[in-house]
Amino acid sequence: MRFNAKDLALLAKRPSGCFDKEGKLKICRVVGDEKLIEPRERWCRLKGNLLFLMKNKSSEASEVVILERCWVVEFKSKTDVSIILKFQSGEPDLYIEAASKPDCEAWAVALGEANSEGLRNKIQQLRRLIMEIKEERASEEARQFLPSSQVDSLGEPQFTSIQRIANEPKLEFSLACKGLVAATRDRKLNTFIQVSVVHPAEHILTRYSSTEIVEGTRDPLFLTGVTFPPEYPIYEETKIKLTVYDVKDKSQDTVLTSVLPDHKEPRADVGRSFLGCATFRVGDLVKSKEQQLTLTLRTSDGGKTVGTIEVNLVKMGEFEDGEMDHITTDAQDQKCALVRECTAPEGLSGKDNLPSLNAVLKNPICKLYRFPTSDNKWMRIREQMAETTLSFHVPKELINLHIKEDMRRNQELKDLGELAPHWDNMRKSVIAHCDQMLSMYQDTLAELGKHTGSSFKSSCSKGEKTLEFIPINLHLQRMHVHSPRLKDALYDVITVGAPAAHFQGFKNGGLRKLLSKFEAERRNTGYQCIYYSPENTAKAKEVLSNINHLQPLISSHADLLLNSASQHSPDSLKNSLKMLSEKTELFVHAFKDQLVRSALLALYTARPGCVLKKPAVPRSSAEESDDLKHQNHPSQIKRQDSIPHHSEYDEEEWDRVWANVGKSLNCVIAMVDRLLEKDNSSKTKEGESDPSAADCKVLHAGGDWYEQLYPLVITLKDCMGEVVTRAKQSMAFVLLQELACGLPQCLMLTLRRDIVFSQALAGLVCGFIIKLHTSLHDQGFLQQLHTVGLLVQYEGLLSTYSEEAGMLEDMAVGISDLQKVMFKVIEAKSEDFLPIITGRREHYVIEVQLPAKMFELLPQEIKEGKLLRMYPVLFNVGINEQQTLAERFGDTTLQENINQENLELLKEYYNLFTEKMPPDCLPHFQEQNDLKGLLENLHQNIQAKRRKNVEIMWLAATICRKLNGVRFTCCKSAKDRTSMSVTLEQCSILRDEHQLHKDFFIRALDCMRSRQTQGALNESDDPETGCLTDNKPTSRHFYPVALLLVSSHLLVVWLILSLALLLAKYQ
């Protein structure tokens, strides 16, 4: 943001009446809980979103604070007269202290309303006030024209709501027609029913949904039902209109059925003709004894009868008894004994998990089907697709962590101290580039904070820079099956676009190729920097993380030890000493690595005018670190000529500093033992002093515990502080080499990896939470979760041709990086159930919050905070026409390598599972082959290298389900290919696990893929893209790809034409 300094200076000197608020305040900057300087008195003037800070009322402004992307933290204490102004950008907080509590509150309100967000809130409040005034006036004007009797009874319209189970659909019913009359006697009807809703308050006809098309019968039985989600405004007074159409041209009708206005009937020339319609009240259906209505279908003029339509109220726990070619109308048959055999799974219908699950899922879209089983019974399927709030929540949390981590890294680079000119210039260049990247992260977070509207990113937005961290089309696809003789079952698939950096493009490939190329180039850098392997840089980040985590813990435990000593409490002293010893041992262990020693050695040579303490002593190769032994490499000779020889550094100094921490701890332990022993002996008899503390200086042998422990604890803290200072500087020097060797490619690759990982992590968190909620009563799964970990299987449908090959490379790295993620389940302390993310780039912990009642269902290990491991695997099979090109003219090695690598990971998880888990923990499916056979079959299919071998996907999905895993299906945008795969998988499960009648497999598949059944949800506008569509499939998972199979002759012609166009384009 740019400002004219002269204009700001003139604005600050304007008369007092021109400002929103002014007065004396004490101001200073705050980092964390520490004030950088003591608060200084300033004359403050507030104008709009500008806060001017002046030494006195007549002086010039010394500082201007822009009040944007900030918020006010006001302390509720009656005596506190200070507030904190926090900034989203990450800059130090502004501490503001007023003279009195009323003055403090007035400044808090003024500053809170100064930014644009405050102005927007004020505008919205005024708009609401205006609307309320208008409504009151309109109501008063209406009352003037009504009789007094009507005025007394006038009030808000009251409608009777439908009582249903929480989080269950409000209303569901199935449809069938009988005795339909055709225009000509010999014509076979192809019919479907369009469902419209008349809301009682508005009296407007709204098209809601449609059934599938049933061909060649005058007594159609529709497999697709009608369902109204829990939040839909439907009441007993609501009217539903059912319109029956005869389709003349089915292929044309699938495009034109939903582009007509609600109040007009379609013309005969658009491919369908109107047969008849009927209307009923929802209350009549709900209150009917048989829970069924038989309505007469009449023509548009209401004269001629063209048949009847049967409406059956559906309750998912009840089943229709009878043959599959008709619907039983006997009420006694509907309430059969099979109801007891098919109750909802335990925990699925409970209310305890609704608040936490509703915090994650929103805007569900439901569909209802009834399919016949092989024994001529009906099973009912409820299909649901829901968005998730995690699409934006997880990336924002992750970006915030990246900002904090990068700010900490930049500060560590600045704290390296004085360096030689060569290294100092390198540090300045690195910090400048890092600051640019940090600013970019902050801008992205600010833009995401402004986002309103949909909770998912549509495919047409995948190229937007501000949304590049957001996953594409992240949804939950759930199938709830109620079978007559089997237990109810839930099948969840998370659908999401392939995690990839679409905005950055794929001209040079994806992460897999770019990282390999970058690492090869970095190995061959010249004398400018020292090469450290990726393992060493990862180790350096881990050491820094351990330091930042353990140092405060050790300091707090040391203070607790002194506090226990001052209270003369032996038990408390023992416990404090135990905790101090454990944390200090972890601290010391963190530096038992050659990397720290070699990095200190390298940092020593980078200091200006370093003094060599020892003559050169040759060292063996075993003593050299991996990053320092390249004497035989040509480029390394040049590098060693630019800096002093590392062998001349005195390494014993670091060993002494490092060992002093352990020695100081031993002195503290010895003193505590001596004090406790003397305390015990004094209670019984006089004893001799303990010789074990002879090496430690004892102050006042009979003195106070605190006085004797205090100097030893201070010595321990001092030794630890010296170790921390040196270790931090040495590890920061390693990170400096990593960044300097690859500027700016290193930072750009980090950005790309962060983008891909953010998209992958959002999906993983969603999948984990859904799986945990649906399996809370499955003790076998919970045991598997904390004993082995969770299997996460990704089904990729990307081709290995052109840009999609780069997407696949990004996706493979992003999913592999999910191995760094651990989950932890905690009890929620508030109504906010969204997950909490902590950690750093190499290690993240996701804390999933559960309500108290759900948390109590978990095993003790999980409740105690045990970290839960993830095992992500990816299997990819390209299935589109681009994959045909890749297989005939390109290269499929990438896909083959990915599948082979992940097969080994899957086998590793299976072996771990069989070692640690009893065999009865596997789900009891009707299976013919065991897991070992399925794995062997999968191995053979991967080795076969057949073209478009979809058997790999089916086998991997089956293994995942049998191992209680989480399923993901991904393609470029999670639309066409994903919808084809998910619907095929759902119908295959119904056939294999729930006895779907073999003659109805294709029809069931057509029902799930039918665009016809979406009705008002996608009329002429694509809800996913937000733009007008003609024949373009929408993003919902129910539509087939336009072209699935092409004959070989047409394929050859198409390939020739495509190659000709490509040649013409690039010439």
| Beta-bridge partners for 849 | 826
**CB atoms closer than 10 angstroms to residue 829:** 8
Residues with Cβ within 8 Å of residue 889, at least 6 apart in sequence: none
Question: Cα 481 to the chain's mean position, in Å?
Answer: 27
DSSP state string for 802-819: THHHHHHHHHHHHHHHGG
Alpha helices in 451-569 (DSSP H): 511-523, 534-567
Q: State the DSSP H helix or E strand holding residue 1066, giving kind and residue range, or none if neither.
A: helix 1048-1066
Tokens of 860: 């003790």
Q: State the DSSP H helix or E strand holding residue 897, giving kind and residue range, or none if neither.
A: helix 893-916
**CB atoms closer than 10 angstroms to residue 853:** 12
| Beta-bridge partners for 177 | 309
Query: CA–CA separation, 1018 vs 1034, rounded Å?
Result: 8
Q: Between the CA of residue 622 and those of 291, 615, 616, 628, 652, what are the distances in Å? A: 83, 20, 17, 11, 17
The single-letter DSSP state of residue 1021 is B
Query: CA–CA separation, 967 vs 791, rounded Å?
Result: 9
Residue labelled with tokens 């004396």: 24
- Which of 971, 987, 1007, 1027 is an active site residue? 971
- For the question of residue 104 being annotated catalytic, the response is no
Query: CA–CA separation, 599 vs 732, rounded Å?
Result: 9
Q: Is the dihedral of CA 982, 983, 985, 986 positive or negative?
A: positive
Residue labelled with tokens 């109805």: 1000
Query: CA–CA separation, 335 vs 378, rounded Å?
Result: 13
Nearest of 459, 1051, 508, 512 to residue 803 by alpha carbon: 508
As a whole number of Å, the CA-based R_g of the chain is 36
**Phi and psi at residue 41, in whole multiples of 5°?**
-75, 130
Tokens of 201: 């308050």
Tokens of 83: 């507030």
Query: CA–CA separation, 178 vs 195, rounded Å?
Result: 17
Nearest of 524, 740, 551 to residue 639 by alpha carbon: 524
Query: CA–CA separation, 996 vs 483, rounded Å?
Result: 10
Query: CA–CA separation, 670 vs 677, rounded Å?
Result: 10
First to last CA, the chain: 45
| 3-class secondary structure, 70 | strand
Tokens of 498: 């392939």
Nearest of 503, 494, 600, 574 to residue 957 by alpha carbon: 494
Contact call for residues 314 and 225 (beta carbons, < 8 A):
yes
Query: CA–CA separation, 945 vs 895, rounded Å?
Result: 10
764, burial (CB in 10 Å: exposed 0-12, middle 13-18, buried 19+): buried
Contact call for residues 566 and 705 (beta carbons, < 8 A):
yes
Query: CA–CA separation, 368 vs 37, rounded Å?
Result: 66
| 3-class secondary structure, 863 | helix
DSSP state string for 443-460: HHHHHHHH--S-SSB-GG
Query: CA–CA separation, 514 vs 502, rounded Å?
Result: 15
Contact call for residues 97 and 88 (beta carbons, < 8 A):
no
Residues with Cβ within 8 Å of residue 513, at least 6 apart in sequence: 806, 809
Annotated active-site positions, please? 971
